Amino acid sequence: MKKNKKKKKPLLTAAKAVMLLLTAVFSLIMTIMAGAGLIYNGDSYGRKLVNIGIILIISGILMTLGAFFCVFRKTLHNVISIICTVPGLVLCLVMLHRLCMHADNAGWTDSVTITPISDMYASRILPVIAPAALSLVIAIVQLFSFEAAEERRIKKQKKLDAENAQAPSIIG
């Protein structure tokens, strides 16, 4: 019996490409650079913002790992993708909120445009929602695809066949 070739899915492939590009720009570069900036200037900002910076870096790494794992079609990889992406996004958004609240309370503004610095942080970090959402959608679509369900069914059937196999004769 020949193994069926998997069908190409150009829409899913395009979504993965866009997600990886957005992840590289927003989840990886913007989030990690914002966190690194907070850590670098930690002497003048204080320990609270250094901790926010560390957690921003961790959240960026988690979201990037989630995007990386959802590229693969295996069930385990998609589960890992969801497990990494959701906490990464939640951590990032919570830390962004705390950072913006601190910046607003401290009265931080841009010296040229006199706009609040919290607006700059929000405009640079909030777009992480797009690649994280794409990662979640892709992972969920792949988890519940017909091919994945068929793969799990075949694996389960092989396990049942092995358990129910006739025992070898001990007499001879």
Instruction: Give the integer Cα–Cα distance in Å for 117 and 110.
Output: 6
Does residue 167 carry a pLDDT above 90?
no
- Alpha-carbon span 100 to 111, nearest angstrom: 17
Q: Is the pLDDT assigned to residue 161 strictly greater than 90?
A: no
The 10s digit of each residue's pLDDT in 128-150 is 999 999 999 999 999 888 777 77
Average predicted confidence (pLDDT) for the chain: 89
The pLDDT of residue 145 is 84
| pLDDT computed for residue 149 by the predictor | 72
Q: Decide if 125 contacts 92 (C-beta within 8 A).
A: yes
Percentage above 90 pLDDT, the chain? 69
Q: Looking at residue 1, what is its pLDDT?
A: 45
CA distances from 143 to 66, 74, 83, 104, 133 (A): 14, 8, 13, 42, 15
**CA–CA distances in Å: residue 133 to residues 160, 164, 169:** 37, 43, 56
Cα 74 to Cα 31: distance, rounded to the nearest angstrom: 28
Among 20-29, 61-70, 105-114, name the one with the lowest average pLDDT: 105-114
What whole-number distance in Å separates Cα of residue 56 and Cα of residue 151? 37
Question: According to the model, what pLDDT value does residue 158 have?
Answer: 80
List alpha helices for the chain, DSSP H: 10-22, 31-40, 42-45, 47-69, 75-106, 117-125, 129-143, 146-163
Q: At what angle do helices 31-40 and 47-69 cross, to 10 degrees?
A: 160
